[in-house]
Structure 1
């Protein structure tokens, strides 16, 4: 292992979200490529049935058990035959070294990079898993596509609606396989439920609910800018985000509650349940309008995003209501509220009954509340989220985006539901898709 590769190239000092938007053309994706070579460079060797897909993990998450999605995905990859982890990348050298040491004892040669652009330059990498903060999802995905890498990008697919569209454009232009990390799409139970609802077994759907009741503690309040650990390239961490000081206790994970880098709980976990609702309802576009209210209650801290939020996504004929609660049922308690027994899940209210689905149990009821059907996973053995990663690797081999269970277009549409809700919440008014598109279009003119 050449330690020089960890150092990466010059720190990223010229990328801004405005520059990204101004240099991107929706039709042509005229982005400056990150590579020293030309865009769309070929694989080092063809991928055949007997060749492993060589994978890089970009973004480890953080120390400890919270927010380490990159580490979780590494564990998932162990269950996927024909996929081989060959590189790790993170801007935090201490975190990178920590994860590298854990892997190297039982893995073949693993490279480590501090700069993702060096990953994209590596011709011995076929695909990348992007587990970065939301504000990096679009640019990292576009760069990867330009470098002929297939992409698995974590949820929410995008930081905003416009960037999501550019991700779709890049996937199509460069003919890449791009999967979104909404793993319920690969659930056998979920597929059965979609068939059941769409088949009209309970009659017309009247309402779908996305429930996200997850207790969140205060992130605390600091008195001023905080020091950045020497192991972190903070300028590169910011990337396309505004250049600002760190005004919170921790860099990692707490970025979820900062508007400059993420989209709050509705974008963090709500997108899973909104995606499930939209998919099962068979909706392939955006709702007629979105309206959302909420706030950050009880805490006077450095968090900016709501810990309590309700959003109406007005689809025809059945709307989706998404409800986020981060506070327990009463002050001093750690117990969260539940709606019909669901703390995190989805509910479909239909003419002839309802379906209630949490993370473990999915049940259909008649109008009297009597249980009429349980949905069981028909697969034997493998019931973890690894089927979603297996689906991604299989689609890489087939070269058919239609084989993906969560193609980037679906990821873009479901993330857009979160963005529409947040736009309404922050503006204090309902917004229709056309108005939002006009605003985002205007923001990119004359950049």
Structure 2
């Protein structure tokens, strides 16, 4: 493929099109000279529904149930990967090996070892990769970080990032059932441990099981902690500590904690992650956000905008600077521009950055699961605490293997 900004259409195939994959596909199709040539999902009902919607738009893609067949399609240049987290690594590496450029949903992967495998694969295959951390393309997020970098807040000693999601309720116990007709559940489970079909472990709610994802820590944490690091211009923490549990719903059917506080220690300041389900009233009366707390004032940022709350008499307030654009639409435009110009330096959520923030979020979960204060060795890609290293890699099963590049 030798795209440039004057070339023919970019042909897109989408793998996983029920939720965010469908949003991604709709966003990318707003761009001139981009067309959908293939869709893939393990659920016939999803394929039928989305196929009908595309047909109404005059789009008639080839339909696949097995993503490996889509990757063989020579009419696909770019692949959107929006499957559950435990599939991101394998599908991203396979897509690179097939010569496709990739838009992959966050988090990049479901373990630290998988994140490193995807980065290593792209050193070999050299594809254009955008990760779905679309807030990096949004003007008010960029403006907020510029204000933090200006030094006007004074010395920042604490940064808070949080997701208090009142709409997230208990995962109710449900009985195992037969696999729904038209669903390839073996393929959906892929490298994860085999389980009898249960609706709690399927579609959206996969997020609350360690087999497939990392709960709110990796679902929202990668978005918000990413901006905490960007604002503070730092990389790896000195240590990671976490405490929490199922405090709201002790009998919840999922695995991941509904309440969690994680402390990332850096030189001279801490970054604190908090999440809680069934509570909407988070810090600064926001259900999610990032707060840069300085000696002179605090900048509070969320998807709606940003403002500065001054320490009394120490600086001027900045009123709410509201969101003015669609981060997802801009993120797709950024991706396609980089694809056409064959220039990975244009990407706003590059693979290496996304891998790092996903790893940081996984470190928070590992600190919670071990109960230890963890020290990470960047040189060795291991924790100093040997017990924690048991969580570095997902346990691939069923004939699947972690890619080794």
The two structures have a TM-score, normalised by structure 1, of 0.81
Offset of 1:440 from its aligned partner? 6.0
Question: Of the candidates 197, 206, 209, which is equivalent to residue 255 of structure 1?
Answer: 206
Is 2:313 aligned against 1:364?
A: no
- Cα deviation code 1:297-343 (max 9, x no counterpart): 24213111011111111122332101001023xxxxxxx22211221
Q: Deviations over 1:364-407 (max 9, x none)?
A: 1221287522464796xx43520011111111122222211000
1:295 to 245, 256, 268: 245
Asked if the contact 1:127–1:151 (Cα under 8 Å) also holds between the matched residues in 2, the reply is: yes
Q: Name 1:6's counterpart in structure 2.
A: none
2:383 aligns with 436
Kindly report the root-mean-square deviation, in angstroms, between the aligned alpha carbons of the 2 structures: 2.4
Match in the other structure for 1:86: 37
What secondary structure does 2:179 align onto?
coil
What is aligned with 2:318? 373
Change in Cα spacing, 1:442 to 1:323, as seen in structure 2 (3 Å) is closer
Cα offset, 1:217, TM superposition: 1.2
With over 3 angstroms needed to count, the CA separation of the structure-2 counterparts of 1:383 and 1:377, relative to structure 1, is: farther
- State the alpha-carbon separation in 2 of the partners of residues 375 and 125 from structure 1: 43
What aligned pairs does 1:115-264 form with structure 2 within 5 A after superposition? 115-215=66-166, 216-223=168-175, 225-249=176-200, 251-264=202-215
Contact 2:164 2:277 in 1 (8 A): yes
Partner in structure 2 of residue 421 of structure 1: 364
Work out whether residues 47 and 53 of structure 1, in 8 Å CA contact, stay in contact via their aligned partners in 2. no
Structure 1 Cα separation of the partners of residues 352 and 116 of structure 2: 8
Shift of residue 165 of structure 1? 0.8
Counterpart residue number, 1:109? 60
- For residues 158-180 of structure 1, give each alpha carbon's deviation from its aligned partner in whole angstroms, at most 9, with x where no partner exists: 10111001111112211101111
1:65 — aligned with what? none
C-alpha change, 1:429 and 1:133, in structure 2 (3 Å) is same
Aligned residue for 2:260, secondary structure, equals: strand
Hey, what's the Cα distance between the residues in 2 that align with 1:395 and 1:375? 32
Q: Is the 8 A contact 2:303 2:323 kept in 1?
A: no
Distance across 2 between alignment mates of 1:377 and 1:339? 18
Structure 1 residue aligned with 2:232 = 281
Judged with a 3 Å threshold, the aligned counterparts in structure 2 of structure 1 residues 250 and 142 are, in CA distance, closer, same or farther, namely closer
CA distances 1:40-90 after superposition (whole Å, capped 9, x unpaired): xxx4x75552322111111023xxxxxx11111122123222322221110
Q: How does 1:59-74 map to 2 (within 5 A)?
A: 59-61=16-18, 68-74=19-25
| 2:360 matches 1:403 | no
Distance in 2 of aligned mates of 1:367 and 1:378? 25
Cα distance change, pair 97–248 in 1 and its aligned pair in 2 (3 A): closer
1:97 paired to 2:48: yes
Runs of 5+ consecutive residues of structure 2 not aligned to the other structure: 395-401
Q: Give the Cα–Cα distance (whole angstroms) in 1 for the partners of residues 340 and 37 of structure 2.
A: 18
> Which structure's residues are more often strand, by fraction?
2
Q: Which residue of 2 aligns with 1:49?
A: 6
C-alpha distance in 2 between matches for 1:442 and 1:191 = 32
Between the two proteins, the alignment pairs up a number of residues equal to 387
Using a 3 Å threshold, how does the CA distance of structure 1 residues 107 and 205 change in structure 2: closer, same or farther? farther
Equivalent position SS for 2:266: coil
Name the CA distance, whole Å, in 2 between partners of 1:233 and 1:442: 28
**TM-score normalised over the length of structure 2:** 0.89
